[in-house]
Amino acid sequence: MKLKAVFPVLPLLALTAPPLLAMADMPLGSRSNGGSVYTGAVARTVRAMIEYTRWPSRQEPVRLCVAGAAQHAGQLDGIRLSDGRRVERRNVSASPGGIAGCNVLYLGNLSIAQQRQLTTAVRGRGVLTIAEADPGNAAEAMFALTYQPKGLSFRMNIDAISRSGLKVDPRVLRVAQGGL
């Protein structure tokens, strides 16, 4: 089941879940250092997704791996979570052998076949998967970013989440369904 998140209608969420609020209202920034206008919104969204994901054991630091050329991943370096943990970014090869040790797999601009090969390789291994360039989520990542002229949203694949071995906070599911 794939759901689309709708963000700008969540004013009450600010009282209950600040990291999700950041995800729920992703205004676009200005283009800086050759990055895209989506770069800041992507960083805030990815941070919020990590905040609301629980691994079977605590990850310190959380290893975020970027596979493929990522157009909007310029601010994924230096993320710090609300509990003080660091998110450590590294670029990896777009092959199943290159993604060992990843807690989060951010799929850049890769073919659907390459993305699917990677999502299949981490299935059931406790790896959060986020696709940057697959708005229809054909590669079966847990989350697929979607871009609109005035903001960023995402699609969720509940089947992929349930097969992952991770627990995603139900508030993320409500955001993806467009409610509180």
Residues 26-45: tens digit of each pLDDT: 445 545 555 678 898 899 88
Q: What residues does each domain of the chain span? A: 2-176
Q: Which of 43-47, 78-82, 126-130, 133-137 reaches the highest mean pLDDT?
A: 126-130
Residues 81-91: tens digit of each pLDDT: 999 999 999 99
Predicted model pTM: 0.80
110 three-class SS = coil
Q: What Rg value do the Cα atoms of the chain yield, rounded? A: 15
What string of DSSP letters covers 60-101?
Answer: SSEEEEEESB-SS-TT-TTEE-TTS-EEEEEEE-SSGGGGTT
CB 128 within 8 A of CB 164: yes
- Phi, psi for 77 (deg, rounded to 5): -80, 145
CB 65 within 8 A of CB 102: yes
Q: What is the mean pLDDT of the chain?
A: 80
